[in-house]
Each structure stands twice: as C-alpha cells, then as structure tokens.
Amino acid sequence: MLGVQHKLGGKLQIIHHSKDESISLSDTGKIHTNRGSAGLITLLLPEKAPPGIEYTFALVENYELRIDPQSNKLFADSTTIDDKYYSSLYLGGLMRVCSDKNGDWIVIARYGTWTREA
C-alpha cells in the first residue's frame, strides 16, 4: 500500500491516497482519503471480495475522488451499476461501502453529492 497510514486511539486507521491506487482486502474497516492529491484520483475496490469487507472514503482535498468497483456491481439508490464508478467533488463528502456474498458492493452510507459514471 502506497498510502500513508495513521492510527487514532489504537483502533481507527486512516490511509491517505495522493494518486490512483487499488484498495487491499487487508484495508477493511479503514478510512481512505484523498489527502495530498493534486487532482483527480481513482481508488479501485477489490474484485471478488469476501462478504463483509467495508471501506469508508472521505474527501479532504478539493479534488475529485472516484470509487471504482472494477468488474463488480455497485448497488446504490435502488440501482445496480455494473462496473461504473461513483465520484464526488464535495469537500467533506463521505461514502461507506460493504461487499456482499457475490463480491459486489453496496453503498451503506453516503454524505454529500456523489455522481454515478454515465
């Protein structure tokens, strides 16, 4: 993992991403930010993840952040999105996703404006 990791209170970890990266299965439960980015970055969710893997994404820089499910589906707003990313430019925006038994992703929390890839 190329991101910078911080431990808060021994329980919560924050990983800062300044460029496009693939998120590791071992990073479940961690918060991923775009701190240090100088422009748009895309974070790729793992393919074929086991059920219950969770990630939280937060925009802390005023640059677009994309969350890409790769070849998996992303379920949000009662909509299935096959291999389409979600993106936000909303400083302070937050999205939390969880993998299901098929390795697809479900948005379980969201704050701010997030847009689906057309």
CATH of the domain at 67: 2.60.120.640
The total number of structural domains that make up the chain? 1
Long-range (24+ apart) CB contacts under 8 A made by 93-98 are 93/58, 93/59, 93/65, 94/56, 94/57, 94/58, 94/59, 95/56, 95/57, 95/67, 96/54, 96/55, 96/56, 96/57, 97/45, 97/54, 97/55, 97/57, 97/67, 98/52, 98/53, 98/54
Q: What is the pLDDT of residues 67-85, one digit of tens each?
A: 999 999 988 876 666 788 9
Q: What is the pLDDT of residues 20-62, one digit of tens each?
A: 999 999 999 999 999 999 999 999 999 989 999 999 999 999 9
pTM: 0.88
pLDDT in the model for residue 25: 96
pLDDT in the model for residue 1: 41
* Confidence band for 3, pLDDT divided at 50, 70 and 90: low
pLDDT in the model for residue 12: 80
Residue-number span of the structural domain to which 76 is assigned: 4-116
pLDDT in the model for residue 76: 82
Q: What is the pLDDT of residues 107-117, one digit of tens each?
A: 999 999 999 88
pLDDT in the model for residue 9: 56
pLDDT score of 7 more than 70 = no
